[in-house]
Amino acid sequence: MSSEDGRVSALGLWYHVAVEPLMLQVLVRPDPVAASLTDSLRKDRLIAASLIVFPNLATACRASSLLRDTPAEVVDVLPRIVLEHAKSMPGMPVDVDLLGSEATGLLIETTGADPTDLEAHVGDIASLLWETPTINGVRFSHDPQDCARLHAIHAQGERAIEWLVV
């Protein structure tokens, strides 16, 4: 993706963003082989995940670009339409009906070999996002059930997008 044209891909859709050139690469639809390799490598690691909602796509993209050189293993853009289609799901960290029309989420996941390592990674990510405006703050969950709920929110939204595009 060329960062100079201001296009950002989210769930296979392209958005044009009127901001300074974005230096980011967000892997929205991972290669199945790479995904299975990543899953097998992460099997013995602890996981923390967060769904952080930003006021608009441009802010979410700037935030994701800050995470490029961090221990964040997943940074996935969830446009407003994804949040809308998953709003009634358990684990949704915000009241979607109260969000503005441009609100955009980032699903962020990191791992660690032990609790101390995981907390250090979460701290690294949170410290980079500290000054970035968010709607729901930066909160990570270490609970595997909470992490699974966040992934289910993402999957529900992705299915809704695929249905709308087809």
Q: What is the DSSP annotation of 100-140?
A: -TT-EEEEEEEEESSHHHHHHHHHHHHHHHTTS--SS----
Say what the pLDDT of residue 92 is: 83
Say what the pLDDT of residue 29 is: 37
- AA letter at 140: F
Q: What CATH architecture does domain 31-165 belong to?
A: 2-Layer Sandwich (3.30)
Using the structure block, give the residue that is written with the tokens 């059930």: 145
Say what the pLDDT of residue 114 is: 93
User: Average pLDDT of each block of 10 consecutive residues along the chain (166 residues)?
Assistant: 41 37 35 43 78 94 91 89 82 84 92 95 95 93 90 76 54
Using the structure block, give the residue that is written with the tokens 């997008």: 161
Alpha-carbon gap, residue 65 to 85, rounded angstroms: 26
